[in-house]
């Protein structure tokens, strides 16, 4: 039988209710008459969509949900049957496969067809192909926001202007047309104000990874912390209250010298290894994967995955005074849009600032966008920080790509390697 | 004396190494992993402790002037006799187990004759066993099953024939019982067995007896045991006593070759590229992903596919003078590719040479991901015994990394256990 439900904190319960409400909003579109858009997590324009009363549906999140409910394997096979290759991003296949299997949302009701595909392109070409497939299926308009890649490691005024121009000339008029709602910049400002408030609290929470013992797990816990801000809730009052609640929970744990809760309901206080993790988690075996860490006393104090939808900890905030410009900056600065040296800088900085034992990379089989260059990243971070790195390989939502024995073996070796390095290995006893 | 033990539970064999607190290897032991990890661990440990005794005898005898130059003979005599005592003991266990297994409708009314046939068979087995352990005889196997099995067949058949009894009747009992006996942890009392072996031997002169007995009197105290290998989690050890095989192979290779920096281990289930620092600490490692392509298992499949023994692959590949290019190290594809090549009329040795190359190419990729090959390079694991694989490896290492020293130890199968034993010493001595 299935494992017992994960122990949940109040903030998790709240988030769960928020997500359920959003799924209800999506699936009741025909009753409410609200329009639905599909869009991606990195660089999404949630506040802007809200200005047009458009409900936000995120295929990546649906794939994750399917992965965690153990449904993705079947969907992927279904997509492969219709000709999608084994090597293609499994989010895409989970989504496509789900469509051909009735397209049922987690609340049991069918997903309605989207009214618009809002494609904010931030570094992954798969996005474009994915939406081409969806457009073919749904025959709805696609609004493309092209975000220039930060190839030189920084954005320029030119890039920002280019995005703002597209917002003004393509995206906003397009959304007005789809929704029939007139754009009101003051409404946007209000949402952005909410976003910034929530972002402040999120950043505060994530930075508590520096505390020892860490009151958060910035990877397995982190994926919950970033839920509202990266999806359909950024800009909402709900998100503001969620992050206030989260902050209080984290604060409470710090006061009690407690680590985060594990799914088994115990506080993870005995933290032996502090890690920085790069790459998305595996969703099909999420609990099992997480357990491999806390069983060995490994806590993740910072991760890059919690930055896929925005690098708030590096100072960026949505800005009500410069609404369109700040949306542009946001898109430019999300993790998938960064070049490799910038990613190395960021990760090396985390290793130092969070006093981590090293960098662990979870390389995703079917995601070329994240995975290209990761071994180089690891070597470079190792070289700069002098702390050991390690490399494991899993997949997003394809259960066939998760080999527990292999991952566990590598993780245990890595933790023991850290341990051995700490002790200095007892070189004195080495026989002459 | 304090003994530190490393046990490496591999998927096919289990190895143990005993060390003293000065990191000197005292003994090594090996057994089949078979189905029962606990027994495999116990057997390999006991084997290593027996080997340890022999080392202690050697040390004791080296101080006896009268036997100088004869120590090797004395020890091999002692070991032979010891093995014989051990064999007889297991044989007795097997006989009792067989007799206990004679029950059920199959034997109804015939129990007595079957027992008599068994007793007759075992009695002949005991008699003929002396020849197996006679001086100068090379034993065919180290495993009881192999040694007892072959003899049981010939004697059993003869006895049954004489008694007018179907051989399959006792064969059936044997098959059932041998598994039970094999999976039973071996009886203790190693000292007693050595004493009996001494008594059996011809060299019981007091100049030998006294030092051997004093070496026998040294208590072997299991101070710390470290387990590693794929079966490590099955060991009844607390967590601190378990180390990953990556660390153990790194450290074991360092103990064999202190200057080694890069280690390649091709085991049955996986391939690992490991970098170690000057004191044997693992700096970095990479291993194959969930797919075991290119590992020892792959060669196993190929051997099955070709209807050959695993140990025959290397020698046959060495006969090749034209290598066929095999592109796939995928176990499943390789079978297809192999049949395809055979159908095209390629020679078996040439195809095999290509397959060995494919394996080593994959290992080269894992090595380069782990940071390349540095001087000195050590190759461990079962595939290190395969000369065709070694030949390809030497070639490719030279092409890619120049003239680095390549170490291959004849005892490389013990590398993981050696690393484990070293960890055991470090856990206590530091
Ligand atoms: S970034 Fe990776 S996971 Fe995301 S859509 Fe692109 S390929 Fe898929």
Higher-confidence residue: A225 or B334? A225
The pLDDT > 90 percentage for chain B reads: 39
Count of A–B CB contacts within 8 Å?
78
Q: How far is A85 from chain B (nearest CA, A)?
A: 18
Q: What is the DSSP string of B11-50?
A: SSEEEEEEE-TTS-EEEEEEEE--S-HHHHHHHHHHHHHH
B36 DSSP β-pair partners = none
The secondary element (H helix, E strand) that includes residue B419 is: helix B415-429
Higher-confidence residue: A230 or B187? A230
Among protein residues, the one whose CA lies closest to atom 2 of ligand 1: A367
Among protein residues, the one whose CA lies closest to atom 8 of ligand 1: A89
Task: Determine the distance separating the centroid of ligand 1 and the alpha carbon of A67, expressed in angstroms.
Answer: 15
Q: How far is B275 from chain A (nearest CA, A)?
A: 12
Higher-confidence residue: B330 or B179? B179
Nearest residue to B366 (alpha-carbon basis) of B422, B292, B297: B292
User: Quick one: tokens of B144?
Assistant: 């009881």
Contacts of A430 in chain B (CB under 8 A): 23, 254, 258, 279-280
Among protein residues, the one whose CA lies closest to atom 3 of ligand 1: A367
At B199 the pLDDT is: 76
Q: Where residue B293 falls among pLDDT bands split at 50, 70, 90?
A: low
At B409 the pLDDT is: 94
pLDDT higher than 60, residue B350 = yes
At A428 the pLDDT is: 38
Q: Give CA–CA dist B82/B147, Å, rounded.
A: 15
* Residue A101 CB contacts under 8 Å (≥ 6 apart), including other chains: A74, A75, A78
Please state the domain extents for chain A: 10-184, 189-424
Using DSSP's 3-state secondary structure scheme, residue A383 falls into helix
A55-57, strands of its sheet edge to edge: A55-57, A36-39, A116-121, A142-146
Q: Does the beta carbon of A267 lie under 8 angstroms from any beta carbon of chain B?
A: no
Location of structure tokens 């000369």: B387
Task: List own/partner pairs for A160-165 with CB under 8 A and 24 or more apart.
Answer: A160/A325, A160/A328, A160/A329, A160/A332, A163/A327, A163/A328, A163/A331, A163/A332, A164/A324, A164/A325, A164/A328
Write out pLDDT tens, residues A36-70: 999 999 999 999 999 999 999 999 999 999 999 99
User: Quick one: tokens of B130?
Assistant: 């002396």
- C-alpha distances in Å from residue B34, one per residue of A176, B12, B13, B243, B303: 71, 7, 8, 22, 20
Q: Give CA–CA dist B256/B169, Å, rounded.
A: 51
Among A84-98, A148-162, B66-80, the minimum mean pLDDT is found in B66-80
Task: Determine the distance separating the centroid of ligand 1 and the alpha carbon of A200, expressed in angstroms.
Answer: 27
pLDDT higher than 60, residue B132 = yes
Q: Are A100 and A93 in contact (CB under 8 A)?
A: no
Location of structure tokens 């006996």: B181
pLDDT higher than 50, residue B86 = yes
CB pair distance less than 8 Å for B284 and A423 = no
At A1 the pLDDT is: 41
Q: Where residue A315 falls among pLDDT bands split at 50, 70, 90?
A: very high
At A219 the pLDDT is: 97
Location of structure tokens 């591999």: B10
Contacts of A428 in chain B (CB under 8 A): 430
At B290 the pLDDT is: 63
| Per-residue 3-state assignment (H helix, E strand, C coil) for A14-33 | HHHHHHHHHHHHHHCHHHHC
At B291 the pLDDT is: 66
- The angle that helices A125-138 and A90-100 make with each other, rounded to 10 degrees, is 10
pLDDT higher than 80, residue A185 = yes
Ligand 1 pocket mutation pick from A41, A61, A91 by most atoms within 8 angstroms of CB: A91
Write out pLDDT tens, residues B322-349: 877 776 666 666 677 788 888 888 888 8
Contacts of B369 in chain A (CB under 8 A): 375, 391
Helices (H), A10-155: 10-27, 29-32, 46-51, 59-68, 72-81, 90-100, 125-138
A267 DSSP β-pair partners = A261
Q: Give the β-pairing of A273-278 and A358-364.
A: parallel
* Residue A36 CB contacts under 8 Å (≥ 6 apart), including other chains: A26, A29, A54, A55, A56, A57, A112, A113, A114, A115
The pLDDT > 90 percentage for chain A reads: 86
Task: Determine the distance separating the centroid of ligand 1 and the alpha carbon of A369, expressed in angstroms.
Answer: 6
At B43 the pLDDT is: 87
CB pair distance less than 8 Å for B23 and A429 = yes
What is the pTM (predicted TM-score) of this model?
0.84
CATH numeric code, A189-424:
3.40.50.11900
Q: How far is A244 from chain B (nearest CA, A)?
A: 40
Q: Give the β-pairing of A389-394 and A358-364.
A: parallel
Most confident of A9-13, B34-38, B200-204: A9-13
pLDDT higher than 80, residue B35 = no
At A427 the pLDDT is: 40
Q: Which residues of B fall below an 8 Å CB-CB distance to A?
A: 22-24, 230, 243-247, 254-255, 258, 270, 277-290, 369, 371, 425-426, 429-430
CB pair distance less than 8 Å for B290 and A402 = yes
User: Quick one: tokens of A162?
Assistant: 């280019």
CB pair distance less than 8 Å for A389 and B289 = no
* ipTM score assigned to the predicted complex: 0.76
**Which ligand 1 atom lies nearest to the CA of residue A336?**
1
CB pair distance less than 8 Å for B24 and A403 = no
**Of the candidates A390, A402, A420, which has its C-beta nearest B281's C-beta?**
A420
| DSSP annotation of A167 | I
Residue of A nearest to B269 (CA): A406
**Mutate which of B289, B297, B369, B428 to test chain A, going by most A C-beta atoms within 10 A?**
B289
Higher-confidence residue: A194 or B69? A194
Rounded to 5 degrees, what are φ and ψ at A107?
-85, 5
The pLDDT > 70 percentage for chain A reads: 97
At B258 the pLDDT is: 97
User: Quick one: tokens of B429?
Assistant: 């001595």
At B298 the pLDDT is: 78
* Residue A349 CB contacts under 8 Å (≥ 6 apart), including other chains: none
**Which ligand 1 atom lies nearest to the CA of residue A90?**
8
A10-184 and A189-424 in the same fold: yes
**Mutate which of A270, A294, A412, A419 to test chain B, going by most B C-beta atoms within 10 A?**
A412
Burial annotation B319-347 (CB, 10 A radius, 16+ → b, else e): ebeebbebebbbbeebbebbeebeeeeeb
Write out pLDDT tens, residues B356-378: 888 898 899 899 989 999 999 99
Q: Where residue B355 falls among pLDDT bands split at 50, 70, 90?
A: confident
Write out pLDDT tens, residues A234-288: 999 999 999 999 999 999 999 999 999 999 999 999 999 999 999 999 999 999 9
CB pair distance less than 8 Å for A410 and B287 = yes
Rounded to 5 degrees, what are φ and ψ at A78?
-60, -45
pLDDT higher than 50, residue A432 = no
Residue of B nearest to A295 (CA): B239
The pLDDT > 70 percentage for chain B reads: 94
CB pair distance less than 8 Å for B246 and A388 = no
Q: Give CA–CA dist B260/B408, Å, rounded.
A: 11
pLDDT higher than 60, residue A3 = no
CB pair distance less than 8 Å for A403 and B289 = yes
Q: Give CA–CA dist B322/B324, Å, rounded.
A: 6
Half-sphere exposure of A169 (CA within 13 A, CB side): 7
pLDDT higher than 60, residue A291 = yes
CA end-to-end span of chain B: 18
Structural domains for chain B: 46-199 (no CATH), 259-413 (3.30.420.40)
pLDDT higher than 80, residue B60 = yes
Half-sphere exposure of A17 (CA within 13 A, CB side): 10
**Average confidence (pLDDT) over A396-400:** 93
CB pair distance less than 8 Å for A429 and B425 = yes
Task: Determine the distance separating the centroid of ligand 1 and the alpha carbon of A326, expressed in angstroms.
Answer: 24
Using DSSP's 3-state secondary structure scheme, residue B274 falls into strand
At A429 the pLDDT is: 37
CATH numeric code, A10-184:
3.40.50.11890
CB pair distance less than 8 Å for B255 and A423 = no
B6 DSSP β-pair partners = B17, B226
Residues with CB under 6 A from ligand 1: A 89, 91, 124, 126-127, 336, 367-370, 396
């Amino acid at each position: 039988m299935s494992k017992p439900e994960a122990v949940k904190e109040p903030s998790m319960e709240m988030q769960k209710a928020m997500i359920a409400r959003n799924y209800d909003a999506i699936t009741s579109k025909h009753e409410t008459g609200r329009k639905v858009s599909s869009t991606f997590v990195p660089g999404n324009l949630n506040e802007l969509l809200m200005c047009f009363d458009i409900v936000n549906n995120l295929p990546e999140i649906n794939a994750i949900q399917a992965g965690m409910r153990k449904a993705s394997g079947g969907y992927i096979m279904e997509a492969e049957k219709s000709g999608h290759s084994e090597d293609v991003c499994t989010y895409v296949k989970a989504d496509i496969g789900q469509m051909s299997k009735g397209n049922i949302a987690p609340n049991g009701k069918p997903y309605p067809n989207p009214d618009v595909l809002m494609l904010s392109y931030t570094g992954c070409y798969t996005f474009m192909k994915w939406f081409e497939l969806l457009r073919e299926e749904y025959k709805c308009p696609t609004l493309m926001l092209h975000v220039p890649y930060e190839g030189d490691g920084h954005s320029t005024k030119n890039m920002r202007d280019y995005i703002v121009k597209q917002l003004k000339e393509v995206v906003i008029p397009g959304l007005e047309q789809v929704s029939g709602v007139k754009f009101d910049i003051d409404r946007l400002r209000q949402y952005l104000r909410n976003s910034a408030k929530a972002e402040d609290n999120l950043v505060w929470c994530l930075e508590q990874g520096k505390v020892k013992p860490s009151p958060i797990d910035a990877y397995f816990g982190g994926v919950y912390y970033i839920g509202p801000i990266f999806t359909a809730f950024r800009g909402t009052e709900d998100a503001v209250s969620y992050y206030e609640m989260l902050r209080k929970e984290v604060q409470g744990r710090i006061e009690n010298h407690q680590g985060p809760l594990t799914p088994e309901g115990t506080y993870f206080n005995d933290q032996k290894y502090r890690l920085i993790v790069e790459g998305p988690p595996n969703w099909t075996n999420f609990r099992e994967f997480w357990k491999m860490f806390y069983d060995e006393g490994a806590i993740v104090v910072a991760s890059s995955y919690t930055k896929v939808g925005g690098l708030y900890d590096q100072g960026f905030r949505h800005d009500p005074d410069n609404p369109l410009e700040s949306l542009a900056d946001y898109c430019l600065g999300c993790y998938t849009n960064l070049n490799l040296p910038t990613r190395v800088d960021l990760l090396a900085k985390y290793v130092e600032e969070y006093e981590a034992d090293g960098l662990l990379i979870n390389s995703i089989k079917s995601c070329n966008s994240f995975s290209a260059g990761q071994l180089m990243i690891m070597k470079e971070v190792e070289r700069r920080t002098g702390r050991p790195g390690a490399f494991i390989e899993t997949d997003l939502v394809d259960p066939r790509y998760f080999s527990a024995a292999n991952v566990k073996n590598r993780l245990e070796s890595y933790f023991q390697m850290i341990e051995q390095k700490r002790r200095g290995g007892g070189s004195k006893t080495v026989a002459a | 004396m304090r003994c530190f033990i490393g046990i490496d539970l591999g998927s096919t064999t289990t190895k143990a190494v005993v060390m003293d607190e000065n990191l000197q290897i005292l003994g090594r032991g090996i057994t089949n992993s078979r189905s029962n990890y606990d027994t495999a661990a116990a057997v390999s440990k006991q084997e290593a402790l027996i080997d340890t005794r022999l080392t202690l005898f050697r040390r004791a005898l080296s101080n006896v002037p009268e036997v100088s130059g004869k120590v090797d003979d004395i020890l091999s005599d002692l070991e032979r006799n010891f093995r014989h005592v051990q064999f007889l003991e297991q044989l007795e266990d097997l006989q009792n187990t067989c007799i206990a297994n004679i029950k059920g409708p199959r034997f109804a009314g015939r129990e007595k004759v079957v027992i008599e046939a068994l007793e007759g068979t075992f009695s002949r087995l005991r008699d003929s066993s002396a020849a197996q352990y006679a001086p100068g005889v090379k034993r065919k196997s180290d495993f009881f099953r192999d040694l007892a099995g072959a003899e049981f067949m010939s004697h059993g058949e003869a006895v049954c024939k004489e008694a007018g009894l179907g051989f399959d009747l006792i064969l059936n009992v044997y098959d059932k019982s041998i598994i039970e006996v094999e999976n039973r942890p071996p009886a203790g009392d190693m000292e007693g067995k050595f004493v009996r072996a001494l008594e059996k031997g011809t060299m019981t002169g007091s100049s030998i007896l006294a030092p051997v007995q004093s070496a026998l009197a040294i208590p072997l105290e299991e101070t710390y045991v470290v387990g590693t290998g794929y079966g490590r989690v099955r060991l009844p050890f607390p967590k601190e006593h378990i180390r990953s095989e990556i660390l153990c192979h790194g450290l074991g290779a360092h103990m064999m070759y202190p200057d080694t920096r890069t280690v390649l281990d091709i085991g049955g289930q996986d391939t690992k590229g490991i970098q170690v620092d000057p004191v044997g600490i693992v700096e970095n490692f990479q291993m194959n992903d969930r797919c075991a392509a290119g590992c020892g298992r792959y060669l196993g499949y190929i051997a099955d596919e070709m209807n050959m023994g695993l140990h025959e692959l290397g020698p046959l590949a060495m006969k090749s003078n034209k290598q066929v290019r095999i592109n796939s190290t995928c176990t499943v594809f390789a079978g297809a590719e192999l049949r395809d090549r055979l159908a095209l009329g390629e020679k078996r040795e040439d195809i095999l040479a290509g397959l060995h190359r494919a394996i080593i190419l994959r290992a080269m990729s894992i090595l380069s991901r782990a940071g390349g090959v540095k001087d000195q390079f050590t190759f461990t694991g079962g595939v290190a015994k395969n000369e065709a694989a070694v030949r390809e490896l030497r070639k490719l290492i030279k092409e890619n990394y120049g003239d680095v020293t390549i170490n291959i130890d004849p005892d490389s199968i013990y590398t993981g256990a050696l690393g484990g034993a070293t960890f055991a010493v470090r856990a206590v001595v530091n």
